[in-house]
Amino acid sequence: MSEETQGHYAHTKEADLLGGGQTGRRIKVVMLGAGSGFTEPLMTDILNIPGLDGGELALVDIDLERLELAHQLVEKIVELMGKKGSWQVTATADRRKALAGADYIVNCIEVSGLKAVRLDYEIPLKYGVDQCIGDTVGPGGLMKALRTIPTWVEVLKDAEELCPKALVLNYTNPMGMMILAASHVSNMQVVGLCHSVQGTSHLLARHAEVPYAEMQWKCAGINHLAWFTELTHEGRDLYPILFEKARDPNSEFYQGDPIRCDIMLHFGAFVTESSGHFSEYLPYYRKRKDLLEKYTRSGYRGESGFYANNWPKWREARDEERRQAIRGERQIRTSRSWEYASWIIEAHQTNKPFVIHGNVINHGLIDNLPQGQCVEVPVMIDRNGFNPCYFGPLPPHMAAICRSNMAMIEVAVIAALERSREAAFHSLLLDPLTAAVCSPAEIKQMTEELIDSQIELLPGFEK
């Protein structure tokens, strides 16, 4: 079984013997950024946790219209699931009011994204830096960090004052930068959550044509660039099957993920993020028009500007879907998803160990990645909270690709915490894709243009 499968389903007799934890108590979960698309599935998942007597789902958003939509939708889900007597849903724009006494904080905030998403894409493109998503590394990731991390720091300070024992579950990108920044400023227990490991492991089981529950694997690295270093079924290595399919450019496997397949063929292992997003972590595929034409496809497979062109429309569509659900025109899912949040809460409440893949600080977890930086590894959850698991070394060439991005991430965090133009420039000097395209002088000019274009969104920076 994979670690995910063990975590989801192995609430074994042995685990039961470890102790009952806090089963049956009422809990308070705070959802920061209730306008997020994560709100509906995560709140539904929490309502599916067995053994809880209920509690409070506290929704927070500074966009009052979207906050009200979220409030009405979650109330409807609570009623639909027959939980109205046990769960209270509150909504406020005052995060301090919501955070008081919280047991769990789910962070899904978006800071000024609508105002900046086109700038994050179009300005770097003028300099030849072509991004598909652009919200975790590179110019887009840097700018999102500069906008988001100052607010994130304030959230963590409020949490230390108002709910110091709460577990903090971060879904907001840029993931690596958010978790690293948290480690610099806060003592809260924080984990970064992404569904790329779950999604990719299911994808690989399908293409290897084995039952997911029977597939065994190991995976570690950094967010969006974690490597499946082992992939077996009943002791049989599955990579030869995947290699054969990847060598056929007309296969469903290759066409669905051309860049991930190409990297697997050359590096020897598959990675966790879609071809389009993953390509931004690399110096190989987005630096020339002919390479883009050869290796990228539509949508998440590498389309230029895919996120900038579509995210505002996705946001509007999600709001309309909420209105439809509130009016009874759309069926609401009430089953539990594979998103990690509710499984973490259940494991913490019941003390039944559960394994996720989370983003945490590397304190002796991956030997050949920088210590003190953010990595993605198996993390065991129990009543003590987050317990990261030792992985060991990655194959050296895989570790090197991770390290090249970790250098950029480290300096970008300094830029965000210190409001430093110089550090922002230095971070892009180290970015693998930007460095493959631009000279240092061009990177300097691009950084200045990016910051100046968003100066009103960047408190602490001067024009």
pLDDT at position 13 over 70: no
Model confidence at 319: pLDDT above 60: yes
Q: Counting Cβ atoms within 10 Å, is residue 124 exposed (0-12), middle (13-18) or buried (19+)?
A: buried
CA R_g for the chain: 22
User: What whole-number distance in Å separates Cα of residue 8 and Cα of residue 340?
Assistant: 9
Task: Output 428 or 18, whichever has higher pLDDT.
Answer: 428
Q: How confident is the model at residue 16 (pLDDT cuts 50, 70, 90)?
A: very low
Say what the pLDDT of residue 24 is: 57
- At 1, the pLDDT band (50, 70, 90 cuts) reads very low
Return the axis-axis angle of helices 421-430 and 396-418, rounded to nearest 10°: 170
Q: CA 265, CA 262: separation in Å to the nearest integer? A: 5
* Encoded amino acid at 67, one letter: L
Query: Reduced to 3 states, what is the DSSP secondary structure of residue 136?
Result: coil
User: Across the chain, how many H-helices and E-strands are there?
Assistant: 20, 12
**Other Cβ atoms closer than 10 A to 160:** 15
User: Among 37, 46, 57, which residue's Cα sits nearest to residue 81?
Assistant: 46
pLDDT at 463 over 90: no
State the amino acid at position 44 in one-letter form. Answer: T
Q: What percent of the chain has pLDDT over 90?
A: 94
> DSSP per residue over 290-309, as a string?
HHHHHH--SGGGT-TTHHHH
pLDDT band, residue 440 (cuts 50/70/90): very high
Question: 396, exposed or middle or buried, with CB in 10 Å at 0-12, 13-18, 19+?
Answer: exposed
* The predicted structure's pLDDT at residue 177: 99
Bridge-based pairing state of the strands 54-60 and 26-32: parallel
Cβ of 460: how many Cβ atoms within 10 Å? 11
DSSP secondary structure letters along 138-165: HHHHHHHHHHHHHHHHHHHHHHHHH-TT
Average pLDDT of the segment spanning 214-224? 98
Task: Please determine, for residue 22, whether its predicted confidence score (pLDDT) is greater than 70.
Answer: no
**Helix 196-208, helix 239-246: angle, nearest 10:** 80
Q: pLDDT for 148-172, tens place per residue?
A: 999 999 999 999 999 999 999 999 9
Q: Which pLDDT score, from 0 to 100, does residue 221 have?
A: 99
Q: Quick check: 3 pLDDT over 70?
A: no
Which of 11, 184, 195, 202 is catalytic? The answer is 195
State yes or no: pLDDT of 195 exceeds 90: yes
What's the longest Cα–Cα distance across the chain?
62
Q: Which pLDDT score is estimated for 25?
A: 79
Residue 147 contacts residue 116 (beta carbons within 8 Å):
yes
pLDDT of residue 211: 98
**Amino acid symbol at 213:** A
Residues 68-84: what's their mean pLDDT?
Answer: 98
> Is the bond preceding residue 174 a cis peptide, omega within 30 degrees?
yes
Residue 19, SS3 per DSSP: coil
- ∠ Cα 68 70 74 (to 5°): 120
Measured CA to CA, the distance from residue 150 to residue 437 in angstroms comes to: 29
Give tens-digit pLDDT for 343-389.
999 999 999 999 999 999 999 999 999 999 999 999 999 999 999 99
Q: What is the mean pLDDT of residues 398-414?
A: 98
Amino acid at 56: E
Residue 172 and residue 110 in contact, taking contact as beta carbons nearer than 8 Å: yes
Q: What letter does residue 393 receive in the DSSP assignment?
A: P
What are phi and psi for residue 267, nearest 5 degrees? -100, -20
With a cut of 90, say whether residue 4 has pLDDT above it: no
Section 427-445 average pLDDT = 98
Catalytic residue check, 277: no
Q: How many residues does the chain have?
A: 463
* Structural contact between residues 36 and 110, judged by C-beta atoms closer than 8 angstroms: yes
Contacts of residue 32, Cβ cutoff 8 Å, sequence gap at least 6? 60, 61, 95, 98, 105, 106, 107, 108, 109, 155
Predicted pLDDT of residue 462 = 87
In this prediction, residue 96 carries a pLDDT of 98
Residues in Cβ contact with 425 at an 8 Å cutoff, skipping those fewer than 6 apart: 443, 444, 447, 448
Name the average pLDDT for the chain: 95
Q: Residue range 68-74: average pLDDT?
A: 98
> Three-class SS of residue 167?
strand
Indicate if the pLDDT at residue 70 is higher than 50. Answer: yes
Residue type, 166: A
